[in-house]
Chain A
């Protein structure tokens, strides 16, 4: 997406967006493509919700890569405050300036301003607007949501000492949430909404084949079948796509180390699963749940030729 014909994001067509997803190995259904396209055309932030590992963050990365623009990422956390998200004054530099007797010059100028992600996205000077990823907004406090409202509705920020900073070209905003708490109506009202379902076995297989092409096709199918079966267990932390990809890469590395001495009849053995289960399960209680009965079910799923 670097040729001039695609300069204007608002002029993007569905085919162009789909081909962009294909070029960046992002497997997107029509629903995702349509919703993203709609968000781009209407210039609205896109609120993406879904289980961890469903590909929410990846969507923003893919858009930035596809448009050939910068990805400005704001990782939210509890206690996130304005000075970490918007801007901050460089107090030390101001102090030194005052103590060195810098005359009557104000210490509240650009020189002393430290840009944080939101301000950086608004003042981005590139040819194309940046992609602003506000990741896991549900981790931040409700007060931070209020802070986002001005940024997301008017794409501007008021700095008392400097004035109002308005984006010349509003960034493409992707907000992700894992739904650990519900977001405010005011924030949701400003966004289009996309709920990303965990991928089906077929979609996950397509993702694995694109992202880990060196993995044998039969093993890739078995990997997706086992992961899909594992998600049916009541786990504290069900494996997401990222875990599936980690596991596929781990199996590839192990196959290389073992000199491809795997049993041709079975794409995955119990030993394969047990030695690499740490790629999929990240909670000790989940690992302990993997008893013989569950293992038999996983091996049965691995041998199943149909997804």
Chain B
């Protein structure tokens, strides 16, 4: 930061005399990278080396240039940019302090301990706001300021979102008389077709499959019997391996017909090749076997026998963590995860974030079906949804079979944005 230095770090000499990072800058950089990883930023394995190389090329004189250079070296996902910028300001303060207090080439690293401590940085508005957001008086149903209704995510935003008390009461499932309702099976079949991840029996031409000898022989007739190229074919995916997590808290059951819910779960169990289903409110119960019962009434009986409970509070993060610990093999890279929940988390949101990040890493896709999203006024502003959304491939409405048809329609439009906001019926509702 010498005042007479060239403000352009690349300079007229083409950057041939870059400032070699001092030990203190290197130390700060390594800590910065470690903090980025701790904060969930996907930093490449050799990120520190590339970042040091980048600093060597641009110097450490201009904050904006250093920020851009390190961002290019350390960030590889747009959702990490906000975290990077937040932590960068602390890194830059540490670097500034180090360079102004010491002579060039300083080797004293002791003062850095206090100079670059992301956890102890004063005036950290984001942290303070986050704590404000998580304040909870444990009361009953109430509104809380957690985010803008337009979906923007700012810690100081002013939107309102409904929340339930974490102390809801559970009631045992009873074999109830079942309403007739619409049969969701065709919709589930349509959804299965759109989500298929596992290879089926039918094969079709592909660039990376097995040699198609029969077709190669047929084609060789045109080249005098010489096989010029060997076409390939591969199995076409037509089956789904899935994990279904169903929130049966009171807030969900107030908006979703439980007969419809059970019929959909039974249809998923029938149509998907390999599926495990868990119900959760404040506890988690696996109900896969119960859903395989011969009739819906038998399923209710089984749920009753399992002492599955309807209508407690919602602890989504706890549920995901429990599944992660109790059934880690339930999710692999071919697994599609469906979460049926309104996102009104009453537990620790950080658990939800961790759990969703795990699902996001492990599963082929994570889709959130929210009964509240069937409303035209719905915006995912509650803190549970805000925490989960970055790890979700699609947030959809879920209240009737038509919703499943629309999810399938959107998923078939490959490489197009999907979600409740792209539901073409939204304006007509």
Contact = CB atoms under 8 A, between A and B. Distances in A.
Interface string B133-150: 000000000000000000
Contacts of A194: 72
B58 A42 contact: no
A15 B73 CA distance: 22
A111 interface: no
Interface residues of A, number: 45
B64 interface: yes
A14 B15 CA distance: 10
A305 B202 CA distance: 60
B358 to A, nearest CB: 16
A31 B11 CA distance: 16
B416 A178 contact: no
A42 B45 CA distance: 18
A255 to B, nearest CB: 33
A91 B228 contact: yes
Interface stretch (B160-168, B261-269, B417-425): B417-425
Interface stretch (B75-83, B91-99, B186-194, B338-346): B75-83
Interface in B47-87: 50, 53-54, 57-58, 64-65, 68-69, 71-73, 75-78, 81
Interface stretch (A33-41, A67-75, A120-128, A162-170): A33-41
A34 B68 contact: yes
B12 interface: yes
Nearest to B53: A42
A95 B207 contact: no
Nearest to A47: B76
B123 interface: no
A91 B229 contact: yes
B390 interface: no
B422 A30 contact: no
- Which of B57, B64, B208, B415 gathers most chain A CB within 10 Å? B415
Given A14-B8, A95-B226, A234-B421, A39 B72 contact: yes
Contacts of A31: 64, 68, 71
Nearest to A29: B68
Contact of B424 (A47, A178, A180, A285): A285
A236 B422 CA distance: 7
A247 B248 CA distance: 50
B415 A180 contact: yes
A266 interface: no
Nearest to B426: A234
B207 A79 contact: yes
Given A95-B223, A182-B77, A193-B71, A42 B208 contact: no
A116 interface: no
A149 to B, nearest CB: 13
Contacts of A11: 14, 16
Contacts of B417: 236
Contact of B12 (A13, A182, A185): A13
A30 B15 contact: no
A220 to B, nearest CB: 28
Contacts of B12: 13
Interface string B394-420: 000000000000000000011111000
A214 interface: no
A92 interface: yes
A80 B206 CA distance: 10
A183 B15 CA distance: 32
Given A41-B57, A49-B78, A92-B228, A12 B14 contact: yes
A143 interface: yes
Contact of A81 (B11, B46, B77, B207): B207
A188 interface: yes
Contacts of B68: 30-31, 34-35, 38
B378 interface: no
B10 A79 contact: no
A10 B417 CA distance: 39
Nearest to A189: B44
A15 B12 CA distance: 9
A172 to B, nearest CB: 15
B207 A141 contact: yes
B427 interface: yes
B44 A289 contact: no
Interface in A183-242: 183, 185, 188-189, 192-195, 234, 236-237
Contacts of B223: 95
B78 A34 contact: no
Nearest to A95: B226
Interface string A52-71: 00000000000000000000
Contacts of A289: 427
A179 interface: yes
Contacts of A41: 10, 15, 57
Nearest to A83: B229
Nearest to B150: A232
B64 A30 contact: yes
A92 B229 CA distance: 11
B81 A189 contact: no
A143 B208 contact: yes
- Which of A178, A180, A189 gathers most chain B CB within 10 Å? A189
A184 to B, nearest CB: 11
B66 to A, nearest CB: 9
Among all A-B residue pairs, the 8 with the closest Cβ atoms: A11-B14, A189-B44, A79-B207, A234-B421, A180-B415, A192-B72, A188-B76, A34-B68
17 contacts: A13-B8, A13-B10, A41-B15, A41-B57, A42-B50, A42-B57, A46-B72, A80-B207, A92-B228, A141-B207, A143-B208, A189-B46, A193-B71, A193-B76, A236-B413, A236-B422, A289-B427
Given A13-B15, A185-B44, 4 more contacts: A13-B8, A34-B58, A49-B78, A183-B76
